[in-house]
Structure 1
Amino acid sequence: MTDHRGVSVVRWPGPGLLPEGGPATLLAAYHLQTQAEKGEGVAHANELPDRYRAEVVDPRAAFVDDVVLLALSGDTAVGCLVLTAPVDGRAEIKRLWTDPDHRGLGIASGLVGAALAQAEQSGVGVVRLSVWSWRAGAVALYERLGFTVSESWDTREQLMCMERVI
């Protein structure tokens, strides 16, 4: 789909050989970090709450109707993002994660850009997302990419909701 500084963004699963396990390792890292930041840290992915553990164990089933994008550096998955299936002209970005060793290279921006392009091709008019307010870097990234804070659709404390019209 895209290539940025030696990193390509591809749809998963897709044609050709992709990293074994696909996004499972990245999703595990995302959820383990998020649980730790919420003060609910666990040591292993098998200790995650059921709904998150299901994504790690079988991402293909968990995101069967969604678009999963992977950022690849060579044959190594270094980032992921999920774009939910459109509903009423809206789609949602979820699970944006870049491996910490590969941050600062524009990978997250590339993944979001690819997701926005996919959404537009699918006829989506609005892309939304939620982000924990303490993730200042992520909030700044989303704002830089044209997302604005919107009325919340989620009641969890410290969760910001944002959206962008395409």
Structure 2
Amino acid sequence: MNLVTSRLLLRQWIAADREPFASLNADPVVMRHFPSLLTRAESDGFADRNQAGIAERGWGLWAVEIRSSGEFAGFVGLQPLKPILPFAPGVEIGWRLGAAFHGLGYATEGARSVVTYAFETIGLPEIVSFTTERNLASRRVMEKLGMRHDPDEDFDHPGVPGDWAERRHVLYRLSG
């Protein structure tokens, strides 16, 4: 299933997405709030898992295409929470866009359509999102979506190196 907004197409992944996605994941600007850049193999594996998740569930982290140009911009979507997270089980809303697409409102626009889909189509009772404390841009998107931050739920991410400077994460929630 595709989601369409005024400027974006959220769709299943295709082979042509692999190269721009690998470039995005190897960009220090895009990945500044992650412990490391992704190799091409790691990036392709991530895209493969996204594609398989959408094929299996009908939803996931969709590839984002700019409707006016057909350019691949990144991803926006939903994914089940990893069991290692202290607030699992549940479903996370997330996004990652190439640096050329930052600051244009695409993350918020795509995520709004995903929120509607999550609550009205899938019938989820709640979605969560999390990021590093310092990732103010993603936190602003979460707030624009109406998500609420509870500082008592902030956590040290168990899936990142223990000595990483941005290990502390903030959790936001939104109920349907």
TM-score, normalised to structure 1, is 0.70
Structure 2 residues not aligned, in runs of 5+: 82-87, 158-166
- Identity over aligned pairs, percent: 10
Residue of 7, 21, 24 corresponding to 1:26: 21
Residue in 1 aligned with 2:62?
Answer: 69
Structure 1 residues not aligned, in runs of 5+: 14-18
Closer, same or farther: CA 27–154 of 1 in aligned 2, 3 Å:
farther
| Whole-Å separation in 2 of the counterparts to 1:30 and 1:148 | 28
Give the conservation status (yes or no) of the 8 Å contact 2:76–2:96: yes
Give the conservation status (yes or no) of the 8 Å contact 1:133–1:159: yes
Deviation at 1:12, TM superposition (A): 1.2
Give the conservation status (yes or no) of the 8 Å contact 2:22–2:40: no
Query: For 1:1-166, what aligned pairs fall within 5 Å after superposition?
Result: 1-4=3-6, 7-13=7-13, 20-22=15-17, 25-26=20-21, 29-30=24-25, 33=28, 36-38=32-34, 40-42=35-37, 45-46=39-40, 54-56=45-47, 59-61=50-52, 64-65=56-57, 66-73=59-66, 74-85=69-80, 90-94=90-94, 96-120=95-119, 121-150=121-150, 151-152=152-153, 155-156=156-157, 157-166=167-176
Give the conservation status (yes or no) of the 8 Å contact 2:33–2:135: no
3-state SS of 2:21 partner: helix
3-state SS of 1:84 partner: strand
1:39-66 deviation line (CA, Å, top 9, x unaligned): x445x61475xxx763146542366544
Give the conservation status (yes or no) of the 8 Å contact 2:63–2:72: yes
| Whole-Å separation in 2 of the counterparts to 1:104 and 1:41 | 23
TM-score, normalised to structure 2, is 0.67
| Whole-Å separation in 2 of the counterparts to 1:112 and 1:57 | 21
| RMSD between superposed Cα atoms in Å | 3.3
1:66-96 deviation line (CA, Å, top 9, x unaligned): 423232122211131230259x9942113x1
Closer, same or farther: CA 84–32 of 1 in aligned 2, 3 Å:
same
Closer, same or farther: CA 10–144 of 1 in aligned 2, 3 Å:
closer
3-state SS of 2:15 partner: coil
